[in-house]
Amino acid sequence: MKFTKMHGLGNNYILFNQLDSPVNVLREKDYPELSRILSDVNFGIGSDGIILVSSSEKADFKMRIFNEDGSEAKNCGNGLRCVAKFLYDNLYTKIPNFTIETLSGVVWVEVEVDKNTTVEYVTVDMGKPKLLKGMIPMVGDPFVSAINEPYTFGETEYKLTCLSMGNPHAILFSDNVHEVPLEEIGPIIEHSRFFPDRVNVGIVHVKNRAEIDYRVWERGSGITMACGTGACASVVAAALNNLLDINQAILVHLPGGDLTIRWDERGSVCMRGKASYICHGELDKHFRLKEY
């Protein structure tokens, strides 16, 4: 089983290309375990999860993503940019814009190549944010949204703005993204009773009306260097709290680098950023690295 390890701003995934092999050596029930084993930084390869790329009946290609803990997510912004780069660089498409099916729907991507004609930047139309509690999902009236609503965790109250970008995000605002102990409150909020499917937790500092800082605790993976859907969710959350001017490109600073996000309130959220290779390799039938 050949793999390619890639990252989008340090958010790193082990990608399995299932486009060429009609006989899939992996079975559906193997994926969660494979993700847990390979993601382990001490005994595996080390990653935030695995990504499967295959053909689709609804779009040009299909992507599935499993977190480090083996849970399957419906969407992954950084993963989509990696998959788009992989597909174009490896000549699975010669057209710079194409569609990818995810479990949360079909997205449109566009690649920009550098002077070596390999993909440098990818823009993804991440679709419309889902703002109603029932669609996130979170507890409470399913037909209202959670904008700067107080929630208590233990002794501490946090004001959360929650929405789904295909996967659920809870955003809280702070004057400094490093001031809030994300390692402590991330898992508490992720597993709290307010979010039946758990949640990704983000801290946002609004620097000015076109620029934010963002740190994330990812559902199923913990602290990561970046989260694409989370960056989109942060911009939407800040706009809903009237802290940003929408209909313009917002610069999002993440620990692993920058993304540009644009949300037209009537429509989709568009994300533009880089994707990169880390290494290629091969696994044996016990999911261990093949040595050469």
Ligand X SMILES: N[C@@H](CCC[C@H](N)C(=O)O)C(=O)O
- What does the binding site for ligand X look like in residue numbers (CB under 6 A)? 11, 65, 67, 73, 76-79, 167, 200, 218-221, 224, 227-230
Which residues are annotated binding-site positions for substrate?
Answer: 11, 67, 77-78, 167, 200, 218-219, 228-229
* Residue 17 vs 229, nearer CB to ligand X: 229
User: Active-site residue among 76, 82, 162, 270?
Assistant: 76
| CB of 145 or CB of 221, closer to ligand X | 221
82, 162, 227, 270: the active-site residue: 227
Active site residue 82: no
Nearer to ligand X, 145 or 200 (CB): 200
Nearest distance, CB of residue 79 and ligand X, angstroms:
6
DSSP label at 133?
G
**DSSP H or E segment with residue 37:** helix 30-39
Q: Report the alpha-carbon distance of residue 109 to residue 88 in Å, rounded.
A: 11
Number of Cβ within 10 Å of residue 3's Cβ equals 21
**DSSP code for 219:** T
CB atoms within 10 A of CB 72: 15
Q: For ligand X, which is the closer residue by CB, 13 or 88?
A: 13
Which of 81, 124, 76, 95 lies closest to 277 in space, CA to CA? 81
Q: How many C-beta neighbours within 10 Å does residue 172 have?
A: 20
Count Cβ atoms within 10 A of the Cβ of residue 266 and give its class: 0-12 exposed, 13-18 middle, 19 or more buried.
exposed
Q: How far apart are CA 137 and CA 134, in angstroms?
A: 5
Q: Is 232 a catalytic residue?
A: no
Shorter beta-carbon distance to ligand X: residue 209 or 268: 268
Q: Least separation, in Å, of the C-beta of 135 and ligand X?
A: 14
Catalytic machinery residues:
76, 227
